[in-house]
Structure 1
Amino acid sequence: MDLALLRTFVTVHRAGSFTRAAALLGLSQPAVTSQIRTLERQLGRPLFLRQARGVTPTTIGDELAHKAAPHLDALVEIAETGDDSSLRTLHLAGPPEFTAERAAPALTELTGDDGQGFALRVSFGNADETLEGLAAGHHDLAITTAQPRGTLLTATPLCDEEHVLVAAPRWADRIVPGKLRRREAHTLEDFPVVEVHESLPFIARYWASVFDSRPATSGTVVVPDLRAVLACAISGAGLAVLPRYLCASALERGDVVALLDPAVPPLRTYFLVARTGTLAMPHIARAHEWLLGAAGNWS
């Protein structure tokens, strides 16, 4: 069986579209379609079901992808690595704040030419973008808050992230002591809010978990980076819900104040995700194991 046909097939399987696969491979869409048809004729079975938007693998297509993909990835790894004196490159993707503050610094301990080290390349994105890029082969490991479905990707729980409701001291001083403990969320209705998105994902999750209600407010400041949210909260722009690891130092300094200390704080789980079969590659396996070990010390 022609390896070029298998490579095209695996790319289509991961991309879910002939068009996206063609872009990834640097081929025309008709060329990709022709190669898939050739492979289907050789096997005597259809590998994909054509749909209005993209393609869905058949049972035979799924089975072939899961058998072939790890071996093709290994061949690509050998080709990219060249001789043993060159460093392998690990491509990591994840949310900007968590990846920048925790994952990337942890992995830098493994970079360098020590015979087992690797070069590190990091990219940021939301869960959908990150998982799509991982499936398409752009990344080796991904960190997401969404657990992928199916068997193409393998996810391992990495750590839990505690969320804290914070504000600058001048806003905290306006709250009547004990009211929030009685779940009087309406006390905060007139407070300005700093968030990462108009939908208030962090505020809404916190309100549902702690107050069993929906927030009756809108974002006063919306900025798509939690580090900027923290900076705005410190400046007095309003209250915010932030991961504890991100605002711990600000809490210790008194730059912001935790407005509530619920018995069961809201948590969000991060997953460490790899393409099935790629953990057989030493540098990916080592990074995977190292991150899981490092996460045990994250609080």
Structure 2
Amino acid sequence: MDLTLLRTFVTVHRAGSLTRAAVLLGLSQPAVTSQIRTLERQLGRPLFLRNARGVTATTIGDELAHKVAPHLDALTEITEAGLDADSVARTLHLAGPPEFTAERALPALTPLIAQGLSIRAAFGPAEELLSGLAAGHHDLAVTTVRPRGGLLTATPLCDEEHVLVAAPRWAARLGGPAVLQVRGVRALDPVPLVEVHESLPLITRYWSAVFDAKPAAAAAAVIAADLRAVLGCVTAGAGLAVLPRYLCTNALDSGEIVALLDPVVPPLRTYFLAVRTGTLGLPHIARAHEWLLRTAVGW
């Protein structure tokens, strides 16, 4: 049986779409459709059912995918093997949120540059990153959203603790964590909010997890689409914010900002490391994936 037909079949099975598979394979959609029909004629059975949103594998299609996909991935690994100190340089297209990628992921991967790896980084929101990964624009994506479906595979990378912070003068005005625990969440109402988006995603999540309430303010005083800018505004006294601990540890240690509360169970957010299913057979992607997982143990 033609391996090209099987490779196209597995890509369509994972993508759930002839159009998306065509993009990943660098082919036209008619070419992909023709290859699938050829394989179906050879087998004498339909492999996919067409619908408005793409394709769904038949029972025969699922069985064939489960049988052949591991072997095709192994062949890819064999043919692509060789990213070592004296191999041709390979480029890793990494995507993730700007702050986490800049502060953690990219520094963690720099040792691999000496081993022949080049890195190209892209930033964006989780849904955009996963769409780009699925379309083949990225090799590896760090995201706070676990992807669904068979096209993408995600591995938990690390948890991020969120901290409610403000400048010392705001903390003094509020009376400290003990007073805040007694007075409750409404004691925070007079303090301006600093956030990354108009929807107040971090503050809303923190209020829900810690206070079982919604923020009283409908809008933030400052919106900055980068958490490092949010930290700068909070340090300057603009108001309070919810920030990941890794990003504000130095400012907390130096006293530039203060944690307004120390909940027994702090809110956490999980980061995932996502790849297109099957691409861990490519050595440069597999090495970066393994390196990040190993490094993240200490985060």
TM-score per shorter chain, which class?
0.7 to 0.9
> Aligned-pair distance for 1:162?
0.7
Greater shift in the superposed pair: 193-202 or 176-185:
176-185
Partner of 1:175: 174
Decide whether the 8 Å contact of 2:195 with 2:203 is kept in 1.
yes
Spell out the pairing of 1:203-222 with structure 2 (5 A cutoff).
203-217=203-217, 218-222=219-223
Give SS of 2:274's match.
strand
The one-character-per-residue Cα deviations of 1:132-169 (angstroms, maximum 9, x if unpaired) are 44444443333222233455544332211110111223
Change (3 A) 1:253 1:179: same
- Report 1 or 2 for greater relative contact order, CA contacts < 8 Å, sequence distance ≥ 6: 2
How far apart in 1 are the matches of 2:149 and 2:89? 32
The one-character-per-residue Cα deviations of 1:4-57 (angstroms, maximum 9, x if unpaired) are 434443443344333333444454433333332222222333333322223333
Partner of 1:44: 44
> Aligned-pair distance for 1:240?
0.9
The one-character-per-residue Cα deviations of 1:195-242 (angstroms, maximum 9, x if unpaired) are 122221111111111111111212222232212222222233321100
The one-character-per-residue Cα deviations of 1:100-129 (angstroms, maximum 9, x if unpaired) are 11011111111124xxx4222322233333
State the AA in 1 paired with 2:193.
V
The number of equivalent residue pairs is 295
Tell me if 1:226 matches 2:227.
yes
How far apart in 2 are the matches of 1:254 and 1:158? 30
Partner of 1:157: 156
Decide whether the 8 Å contact of 1:81 with 1:87 is kept in 2.
no
How far apart in 2 are the matches of 1:41 and 1:122? 43
Spell out the pairing of 1:268-283 with structure 2 (5 A cutoff).
268-283=269-284
Decide whether the 8 Å contact of 1:11 with 1:136 is kept in 2.
no
Partner of 2:191: 191
Give SS of 1:128's match.
helix
Tell me if 1:130 matches 2:129.
yes
Change (3 A) 1:124 1:22: same
Q: Percent identity?
A: 70
Change (3 A) 1:82 1:295: closer
Change (3 A) 1:63 1:272: farther
Alignment partner of 1:102 out of 78, 101, 104: 104
> Aligned-pair distance for 1:82?
10
How far apart in 1 are the matches of 2:19 and 2:104? 36
State the AA in 1 paired with 2:273.
L
Change (3 A) 1:224 1:3: farther
Change (3 A) 1:160 1:40: same
RMSD: 3.1
Decide whether the 8 Å contact of 1:15 with 1:136 is kept in 2.
no
How far apart in 2 are the matches of 1:136 and 1:14? 12
Greater shift in the superposed pair: 273-282 or 46-55:
273-282
* TM-score of the aligned structures, taking structure 1 as reference length: 0.83
State the AA in 1 paired with 2:143.
T
State the AA in 1 paired with 2:9.
F
Give SS of 2:36's match.
helix
> Aligned-pair distance for 1:266?
1.0
Give SS of 1:49's match.
strand
> Aligned-pair distance for 1:93?
2.3
Decide whether the 8 Å contact of 2:150 with 2:277 is kept in 1.
yes
How far apart in 1 are the matches of 2:268 and 2:148? 21
State the AA in 1 paired with 2:182.
R
Change (3 A) 1:236 1:14: farther
How far apart in 2 are the matches of 1:20 and 1:273? 17
How far apart in 2 are the matches of 1:70 and 1:93? 28
Partner of 2:200: 200
Partner of 2:90: 88
Partner of 2:141: 142
Change (3 A) 1:50 1:262: same
> Aligned-pair distance for 1:275?
4.0
